[in-house]
Amino acid sequence: MSTFLSSNAELIISLVKIALLLFIVLTVNAYLTWFERKVVAHMQSRWGPHRVGPHGLLQPLADGVKFLFKEDPTPAGADKFVYYLAPLLALALALTSIAIIPFGPDPIHLFGHDIYLGIAPPDLNIGILALFAITALGVYGIALAGWSSNSKYPLLGGLRSSAQMISYELSLTMSVVGVLLIAGSFNLKDIIANQTSTKWGIFGWNIFPQLLGFICFFIAAIAETNRVPFDLPEAESELVAGFHTEYASFKFAMFFIAEYTSMITVSCLCTIMFFGGWLSPFPASWTFTHYLPSAILLPFGLWVIWDGIRYETIFGRIILPAVGTAITALGAVFILFPDVNTFIQGPFWLLSKIFIFLFIYVWMRGTLPRFRYDQLMAFGWKLLLPASIVNVIITSFVILAKMQWGPK
């Protein structure tokens, strides 16, 4: 047994990492739906989910159970094979793209192995290209779902989505070229390492030289993930539910999870490409900022305990203080063990930035109206693509000028 373990250590570590990441991503997905409903509800002066569990925290679980037990009809005349393949493809590709994201700079030393956070090897040379390759295939899930349902609204949704995604993929790729030119590498780790700055960390980030690129990237990325204001493939007021009209039960849940997973991937990419990934925005000499994770977790945990004690239901009065205690304990652990604290700095900054982007996603959903289809196409081709090409040209000229006349 032990020889088996030691000889296949790499494989086992990878499998464990995959299982762990899958679990985390699916849980985060579930609570992202809760978060979205809560935030949008508060923006519209409503309460949002609050019946199932304290503050509606068990709502994702109830939704999941509902998805599992619903009837799962297949429309008559549907192309069976493609109809079943489409949601599978969408989910598989969305989850694969997460595997390429590195989540932290340093490996954990465990059982004599260096375990990096993230599944792909840290020296993956085509990191960003591999991500684009996977997103490029993501169109099929939606287009095929629309076609195979043998129904007119899904077909329109599928057609719209494939046209939209091909158009915006161009701007998405072009807007990143500026960052790639600056970093000189496709490797996500190198791109982050290139954003380190000697003084204030925040001024080393790519967002400052690449503001235009970031704006183009973010808009194109929202269009790629089919979210508001670019959610034309599933515009409910025009197309019932677009490409997934004929999907029910777990097959619908697969599309749902795929959409939220690609939201997470895009947030990760924005953070890594433009906002310094796991780098802190503060100067490196400010060591007291290392206590920021604890400074956030401790008051939040205490607030959850205080809120839980006053909660109406008995279940809430038990579960909320327990959760609060766990959060407080986590904050305390970071203070008490300096080694752990230095290790979690990278992941902490990465995750907080990702969280901010996820919030922006939800915020936009609560705020913006949907584009009209011809507006969407005109915007993508006539404004976004030229803007991202201009960004590439300006960036390359600046780099050339720096090479010619800049300080060596």
Partner 1 sequence: MTAPLVVFFVLAALAILGALSLIWQKHPIHSALSLIVVMVALAGLYLLMGAEFVAAVQIIVYSGAIMVLFVLVIMLLNAGIEEHTSISKLAGVPGLLLVIALAGFIAATIARSSETVQAAMQTGAISSTKGISNMVFRDFVYPFELTSFLILVAIMGALVLAQREKS
Q: What is the binding site for partner 1 (CB under 8 A)?
A: 79, 81-82, 85, 125-126, 129-130, 132-133, 135-137, 139-140, 143-144, 146-147, 155, 158-159, 162-163, 165-166, 169, 173, 186
Q: Note the maximum CA span of the chain.
A: 71
Rounded Cα gap, residues 89 and 139, in angstroms: 10
Nearest to 347 by CA among 279, 256, 253, 246: 279
CB atoms < 10 A from the CB of 319, how many? 17
Nearest to 104 by CA among 232, 302, 278, 299: 278
Alpha-carbon Rg of the chain, whole angstroms? 23
SS3 of residue 192 by DSSP? helix
Rounded Cα gap, residues 150 and 233, in angstroms: 16
Residues with Cβ < 8 Å from 332, sequence gap 6 or more? Answer: 294, 298
Nearest to 107 by CA among 23, 17, 19: 17
CA distances in angstroms from 298 to 178, 317, 354, listed in the order given: 40, 19, 21
Rounded Cα gap, residues 101 and 274, in angstroms: 14
Rounded Cα gap, residues 44 and 78, in angstroms: 39
What are the φ and ψ backbone dihedral angles of 110, each rounded to 5 degrees?
-140, 130
Spell out a b/e string for 357-394, using b for 16 or more CB atoms within 10 Å of the CB, else e: bbeebbeebeeeebbeeeebbebbeeebbebbbebbee
Answer for the pair 398, 262: CB distance below 8 angstroms, yes or no. no
Interior CA angle at 243 toward 29 and 217, to 5°? 60
* Sign of the C-alpha dihedral computed for residues 297, 98, 64 and 151 taken in this order: positive
Q: What is the bridge-based pairing of β-strands 113-115 and 108-110?
A: antiparallel
